[in-house]
Amino acid sequence: MVKKPVHTLELNIQNETDTLKAVVLGTAVSCGPTPSLEEAYDPKSREHILAGTYPLEADMIPEMEAFATVLKKHHVEVFRPSVLENCNQIFSRDIAFVIEDKLFHANILPDREREFEAISHVLEAVGPENVVRPPEEVHIEGGDVMPWNDHIFIGTYTAPDYPDFITARTNKEAVEYITQMFPHKKVKAFELRKSNTNPKINALHLDCCFQPVGKDKAILHKNGFLVEEEYQWLVDFFGQDNVFEISADEMYQMYSNVFSISPEVVVSEQNFTRLNTWLREQGFIVEEIPYAEIAKQEGLLRCSTLPLVRS
């Protein structure tokens, strides 16, 4: 049963960590059979398809429901997509993202277009005047877009071989587009390392190698960035003492893809012992849930959410 909005939603996203009021959480219901190798969108899914360890719907549904329970515990209004038969709708961050009071309809892989249609009940509450579709040449996904107060951070890949990478999701036209849409913001782009076959080095989105937490801290993986100066810019921006640097294996496990409910509360995977210990040492409340099966598809907690309202 899809929750129907009974009121108008006043979109407001200024950053990644203000107190969350409303969110679209994906669903693992009827997510379909294990895809073929040709259907794999990313190298980590490909790895698990080959190994026979691709996650099952029966194992992913409880993980997502544990996430929903934590969100509701913190008084967040949680919307879910309409269930499409045999369609993977877990990663709602891919299909849309909100900056300030506008919801952007992401230009994603063409066969995922109907995932956006499955949140039409949310769009009705937002109002058509607040929904924006970028021009066709603008390739962009929500995992690459991070509003951070007067900045907007964007992960991209602009080399000439961009078309060769199914893992390259946000292009230079997207950076130019967001810059034009938000002239009062400082848009900062970061070139990400891409691989169609090796999940240990592929940064599928910016949130696979970087994410702010709290008011002034960040999780970072240096090798996710192609340009060392861009990585160093982030270290300098947040301050070395405020950065939690993760290893290649921790990036592979999706350590940087946690999710902030507020500046004080972070939802994290229960196996991320080193990160969760650090977060608690910094004074965060850490809500630990199981999410390791969903992680096999190269996405985790942030990927599963489309925040609509923070305050």
For 27, the domain range is: 20-310
- Would residue 196 count as lying in a domain? yes
- Is 15 contained in some domain? no
Report how far residue 117's alpha carbon sits from residue 105's, in angstroms, rounded to the nearest whole number.
10
- Token pair 């996203």 is found at 13
Query: Residue 90 domain-assigned?
Result: yes
CB hemisphere CA count around 190 (13 angstroms):
35
Other Cβ atoms within 10 Å of 242 Cβ, number: 16
With respect to residue 10, please indicate whether it lies within any of the assigned structural domains. Answer: no
pLDDT of the residue at 2: 52
Q: What is the CATH number of the domain that holds 83?
A: 3.75.10.10
The count of domains in the chain is 1
In a domain, 25, yes or no: yes
The span from the CA of 287 to the CA of 275, in Å, is: 12
> What is the reported pTM?
0.94
Q: Are 27 and 64 in contact (CB under 8 A)?
A: yes
In tens digits, the chain (311 residues) has pLDDT values of 455 545 799 999 999 999 999 999 999 999 988 988 888 777 788 888 889 999 999 999 999 999 999 999 999 999 999 999 999 999 999 999 999 999 999 987 677 889 999 999 999 999 999 999 999 999 999 999 999 999 999 999 998 877 777 767 899 999 999 999 999 999 999 999 988 777 788 788 999 999 999 999 999 999 999 999 999 999 999 999 999 999 999 999 999 999 999 999 999 999 999 999 999 999 999 999 999 999 988 789 999 999 999 99
Tell me which DSSP letter residue 82 carries.
P
Query: Would 5 be classed as within a structural domain?
Result: no
Backbone angles phi, psi at 238, to 5 degrees: -90, -25
Q: CA angle, 162 as apex, 203 and 44 as ends, to 5°?
A: 35
What is the pLDDT, as a whole number, of residue 5?
46
In a domain, 29, yes or no: yes
2 is a domain residue: no
